[in-house]
Amino acid sequence: MSNIRYNIGVKKLSKHKQKPKNEALVPFDSIREVGIVYDVNQKSSLLTKIVHHFESEGKKVFTLGYVNSKELGDYVPNLKEGFYCKKDLGFFGIPKKESISSFINKDFDYLINLDTKGRIELQAVSTFSLARTRIGKHLDLFQNAHDFMVKGIAETEEEIFNEIIKYIK
């Protein structure tokens, strides 16, 4: 995507206003549902590990994966897994709300965004989400995307997940 379209998309996302949240971070022991946003091109074993981590603690986990191609291909959505692809994006690279509405309208206790690079396709999901607490890596361009940001040297999805777990437990 061109830099101009990306920059305009980032600006559009920064104007999106979330409802004010007056509640504190929900303690890990009290959460029931977790949403995870990720890029499907990353290691699937990592996603399995993350889902297992939360399910072993008695949490329900729902995932939304971004497929970086025009079609979903072999990725088939089900009750706990959703997917979206390039055809679900608008001109500025922001997902069309109707294509991700079932995920962003879900009232997760935690929404965890595993993006470490500032991909607008992934950050938009966090920005639009109605989750109680949106968690992700601190990225200067996407200050509105998260309620709780982890600032650190994490460069991979696994590293950012480990950092997030350290802070929420």
Residue 1: per-residue pLDDT = 55
Q: What is the average pLDDT across 80-96?
A: 96
The 3-class SS string of 59-112 reads: CEEEEEEEECCCCCCCCCCCCCEEEEEHHHECCCCCECHHHHHHHHCCCCCEEE
Domain boundaries, the chain: 3-15+30-168
Which of 163, 166, 146 is CA-nearest to residue 37? 146
Helix (DSSP H) and strand (DSSP E) numbers for the chain? 5, 6
Average pLDDT, the chain: 91
pLDDT digits (tens, 9 = 90+) for 13-31: 888 877 667 677 788 999 9
3-class SS of residue 23: coil
Q: What is the pTM of this model?
A: 0.92
The architecture of the domain spanning 3-15+30-168 is: 3-Layer(aba) Sandwich (3.40)
